[in-house]
Amino acid sequence: MDISVFGSGYVGLVAGACLADVGHQVICIDVDAARIERLKAGEIPIYEPGLSELVSQNVAAGRLRFTTDTAFAVTQSEVLFIAVGTPPDEDGSADLRHVLTVAKSIGEHMNDYKLIVDKSTVPVGTADKVKATIAGVLAERSDTASRTLAFDVCSNPEFLKEGAAIEDFTRGARVIVGTDSDHVEERMRACYAPYNRNHDKMIFMSVRAAELTKYAANAMLATKISFMNEIAGLAERLDVDVEEVRRGIGSDPRIGYHFIYPGCGYGGSCFPKDVQALERTAREHGYQAALLSAVEQVNYAQKRTLFAKLSAALGDVRGKTIAVWGLSFKPDTDDMREAPSRELMEALWQAGARVQAFDPEAMGECRRIYGERDDLVLTFDRVQAVKGADALVICTEWKAFRSVDLAWLAGELSDKLIVDGRNLYDLESAAQAGLRYIGVGRNNLA
Ligand code: UGA
């Protein structure tokens, strides 16, 4: 099939490369000329395991191309994916500006039937807006023949996790398509057929249900995390190790082990934004989504617990040097959007402490966000980060942080304190090494 993907960010690039990899002819379009030039030169603007190889193989095979030429992309392809960003507005609702700009240019340039696929995370009712925008532009076109061009708009939300995006696209649990048209169903089946071989993963539903499914999935996962973080807070006051509780409840298949890891709060470009946007949608419809507000509140508070625990243990942190392991919001990405590390570092700086940080991938991103400052040293590795530090805070569970010599850490850290936002170590081993080790939901803070 001939496919164009609007938006060469995270979702668009992964979708484009994976669709090209199974033989479709794919054109990726972006308004950012510099980004397109970098992509043409084989440079991938984001860190995602396996993506660079996948892109270069498919470019070399002639199945994947990059352009800023919208007219070319629209006329060349039958299927047009919209995968542009929907950043939060000031009030938390999703900003559809980019989505509707793409819709407008599709209307301006389409020359025959097009199937438009909404892949961006968009509020319920957006497909209708995309449809109306295209129809509006077509009706205004000077070439009267164009005014009757047919097109369909369907919803096909993405469920990629950063760090595992290719795996999720190629072997994901489901492909959701919202449409009421048999023709669209047939074309979308053809589009995904190579990834839908062993059992049918495609779930068809109404357009609005597909749009809501995306938000409901993320909100459900965020709810599980905030629930577990709340239980962790309770465990700290009841002298219980929440890790035992996690194993205890996870064994019930109705609950399951996924997404019940207590931590220092969820971050990234999806959960915080999507929970907020869904709550906002509810409010717009006169419905109070009490649970969603609570999920968000618990998460906000959870991100602040790292600093609270550290300063409760150290007293004043002014003049202290705090080592930070992990800056990205989760492992296998360089993404620091809404990362708990940011909340922590900003609180430390405000309190007059210095930070020595290490992250396997996010150092450049950290520099980009915070620039050069006297109270931030980015170190070459995890060992350098703890040299001369008073205490260590772990914000991200990178594999490299999992196995460490705790006795060595106790020797390095002058206050012999670790605040671990990811519960990486065993309580007993930490105590034996002579460390004060404060995790999430594991210590009696009553
Ligand atoms: C999330 C969803 O998992 C994807 O299915 C979805 O497609 C994507 O958002 C999106 O909407 O684009 P992602 O944001 O990449 O993916 O990250 P996750 O792996 O889901 O982790 C989100 C946050 O939850 C991280 O900060 C992580 O540390 C935290 N988390 C996760 C926990 O604190 N505890 C857990 O048990 C699991």
User: Is 106:76 a contact under the CB 8 Å cutoff?
Assistant: no
Q: What is the pLDDT of residues 274-285, one digit of tens each?
A: 999 999 999 999
d(CA 130, CA 334): 32
- Quote the percentage of the chain above a pLDDT of 90: 93
Q: Can you tell me which residue has the tokens 């965020």?
A: 222
d(CA 1, CA 199): 22
195 lines ligand 1 (CB under 6 A): no
Question: What is the CA(270)–ligand 1 centre distance, in A?
Answer: 7
Q: What is the pLDDT of residues 408-439, one digit of tens each?
A: 999 999 999 999 999 999 999 999 999 999 99
- Type of residue found at 202: M
- Ligand 1, atom 3: closest residue by C-alpha: 161
Report whether pLDDT(167) > 70. yes
10 lines ligand 1 (CB under 6 A): no
Q: Probe ligand 1: pick from 160, 223, 401, max atoms within 8 Å of CB?
A: 160
Q: What is the pLDDT of residues 310-347, one digit of tens each?
A: 999 999 999 999 999 999 999 999 999 999 999 999 99
d(CA 275, CA 52): 31
pLDDT at position 446 is: 55
d(CA 98, CA 106): 12
User: Is 138:118 a contact under the CB 8 Å cutoff?
Assistant: no
Q: Is 191 an annotated catalytic residue? A: no
Burial of 371 (0-12, 13-18, 19+ CB in 10 A): exposed
Q: State the pairing for strand pair 417-420/391-394.
A: parallel
- Type of residue found at 281: T
Q: 3-state class of 253 per DSSP?
A: coil
* Residue spans of alpha helices (H) in 154-205: 165-171, 182-192
Q: What is the pLDDT of residues 10-22, one digit of tens each?
A: 999 999 999 999 9
Q: Probe ligand 1: pick from 167, 175, 271, max atoms within 8 Å of CB?
A: 271
Q: What is the ipTM of this complex?
A: 0.96
- Ligand 1, atom 37: closest residue by C-alpha: 259
224 has binding-site annotation: no
86 has binding-site annotation: yes
* Nearest residue to 27 via CA among 40, 35, 16, 41: 16
* Residue-range domains of the chain with CATH: 2-205 (3.40.50.720), 229-438 (3.40.50.720)
For the whole model, what pTM was predicted? 0.94
* Nearest residue to 417 via CA among 367, 342, 353, 373: 353
